[in-house]
Chains A and B, each alone.
Chain A
């Protein structure tokens, strides 16, 4: 009897936990979903916040916008989430892809089910989505990072890159563009990239990788971490050690405030980022515009929204006829403005 009792109790408990959940989708109007890269990443949470803010402002009922953080930062987990959204029959999915290739099949299935796909932050194969909300043009970001490395290193010396996972689409695009820029301009000829390390967007692994870089390259001058998790981990390592190696990259102001400064006591003179809240908002506006038929994802479409750079125009992705929406140029955070931005996100 004990077993039966236990089972009955556990089932009751689960149903109890779940019955208090979110209201269902109202099928009489459009419904929207945002799929982030993983939970527990403040950057993703800010995107979700921007998305949710717009959905509320545009009067979409609570059950009709769904925010899904996959259980792990893997494409496997994202496939499961999209499958579930297809079952629920949402009108539009906005996704930050963990892998460009592997989502192709499930996104085609979604498309066949009449779901409109928008990507943000990290793109998929262009034929699998209608448009891409690009946080900043790849070359603009890479140029800003290379110039920062050049400036902080004093024009010459060794630098290393601390990235997220080895298959993150955006990270690889920036790193490749950085390599291309340094190779094409003789101004950067005295800069040497010694290693691209991968911290997998995990704090501990990024910390270990930073320490390994310091141990391996005694002449290292600058570490460039184009990932929010990596830069925060590296900043702590460098600052705690009082290392002479300086840091730049892409980071969240609130996490980096204590490390940003021009003196020797701070590990990061300045860094860049766009506003992930704005990126989430842009994805939400683009989703709504697509669902309402105001844009179709063709290059040249325009839509207006309640944002700084409105109206937005869909531009062509370099070398293709596919479209993207560029949020704006990366924004520089230094000792003069970090305190103010740290309060925002």
Chain B
């Protein structure tokens, strides 16, 4: 397992500074700082206050990137998260407008997400041979469809009592609450993935699901938990989306699944499973958010922003592809042997 499970659980961790920078996570930190410097140089309005003010809208996507990281590490995918966000904002809006107290509204929102995630989990564990991509494509259409029916011909509903939502949208100093929620959630997910047996099992399932099952891992139970978790976190994201849109719209959360998968892949998580870690995804998420804000402020064509992020993705996949290819490994091995011989 250690051999195939990637950078984080290598048998003999090398802790030299150069190695750390050369690791993908280190490179991401450099990229992140690069993005901030670039933004500052190119746009006079790229100040801490402005970046933090624009951030909550983008930040909430990182909340979904965390469980998506789990799913990708298992070698699977969930493309229904954007629709879960949409449906959760809709139920929360209806609950709020029905006069329910705000804690109940939050509960309704989170339960909607959890139920959607659990439905994904149920289908995928009841019939484990089904491809997750297709199943979640189906539920993606279903969840958004339900939201569209519920929202009716107007396609949008506004939240009547904004005061409640404004509490969640508040700031502590210059930092929006969403910022702290993201950091806390990220800390929990990172610890679970890297320090617990649950996290180890995810890598095991991603490396070889059959072998993991034979090793006594309750594969389906874990898959069910992870998909439910993805639903729950999508609903949490929905809650913070509500603090900026103050209502539900049938297009809410559109393409979030792709943004989120991009964050994970850019963060070094392999979609084939078993590789990567969430620290990388977190830094990648923040880099993409700050890059988008910077590019927005210099008013380049918004389609060009998509092109740039697409390029970044391909470059990141290329780099991890190169470093993990047999060709590269053989070359490294040869270099090591040469060194060893020279030392003799």
Q: Are A80 and B54 in contact, with the CB atoms below 8 A?
A: yes
Instruction: Count chain B residues whose beta carbon lies closer than 8 angstroms to a beta carbon of A.
Output: 61
**Which residues on the B side are within 8 Å of A18 (C-beta)?**
38, 42, 295, 298, 300
**Which residues on the A side are within 8 Å of B308 (C-beta)?**
14, 17
Q: Is A337 positioned at the interface, with any CB of B under 8 Å from its CB?
A: no
Contact residues of B between 4 and 40, Cβ < 8 Å to A? 21-22, 24, 27, 30-31, 34, 38
**B residues whose Cβ falls under 8 Å from a Cβ of A:** 21-22, 24, 27, 30-31, 34, 38, 41-46, 50, 53-54, 57-58, 148, 151, 153-158, 162, 244-247, 249-255, 292-293, 295-306, 308, 311-312, 315, 318-319, 322-323
Told that A21-B300, A80-B58, A83-B296 touch, could you supply 5 new A-B pairs with CB distance under 8 A? Answer: A14-B308, A76-B57, A81-B296, A102-B245, A172-B154
Q: How far is the CA of A87 from the CA of B252 in the complex (A)?
A: 23
Nearest residue in B to A80 (C-beta to C-beta)? B57
Contact of A75 among B53, B151, B154, B249 (CB under 8 A): B249
Type the 1/0 row for A104-117, where 1 means its CB is closer than 8 Å to any CB of B: 11100000000000
**Which residues on the B side are within 8 Å of A24 (C-beta)?**
43-44
Contact of B297 among A88, A98, A99 (CB under 8 A): A88
Contact residues of A between 1 and 26, Cβ < 8 Å to B? 1-4, 6-7, 10-11, 14-15, 17-19, 21-22, 24
Contact residues of A between 26 and 47, Cβ < 8 Å to B? 39
Q: Are B297 and A166 in contact, with the CB atoms below 8 A?
A: no
Query: What are 28 A-to-B residue pairs whose CB atoms are below 8 Å?
Result: A6-B315, A6-B319, A7-B27, A15-B41, A17-B304, A17-B308, A21-B42, A66-B299, A68-B299, A68-B302, A71-B302, A71-B305, A73-B251, A79-B57, A80-B57, A83-B53, A87-B53, A87-B293, A88-B43, A99-B155, A102-B156, A104-B158, A104-B246, A104-B247, A165-B251, A166-B153, A166-B250, A167-B249
Q: Is A189 positioned at the interface, with any CB of B under 8 Å from its CB?
A: no
**Which residues on the B side are within 8 Å of A181 (C-beta)?**
none
Q: Is A69 positioned at the interface, with any CB of B under 8 Å from its CB?
A: yes
Known: A18-B38, A72-B255, A105-B244. A87 touches B297 (CB 8 A): yes
Q: Are A80 and B296 in contact, with the CB atoms below 8 A?
A: yes
CB of A49 to closest CB in B, whole Å? 15
**A residues whose Cβ falls under 8 Å from a Cβ of B:** 1-4, 6-7, 10-11, 14-15, 17-19, 21-22, 24, 39, 66, 68-77, 79-81, 83-84, 86-89, 98-102, 104-106, 165-168, 172, 196
Q: How far is the CA of A167 from the CA of B50 in the complex (A)?
A: 31
CB of A330 to closest CB in B, whole Å? 23
Known: A69-B301, A167-B154, A167-B155. A84 touches B250 (CB 8 A): no
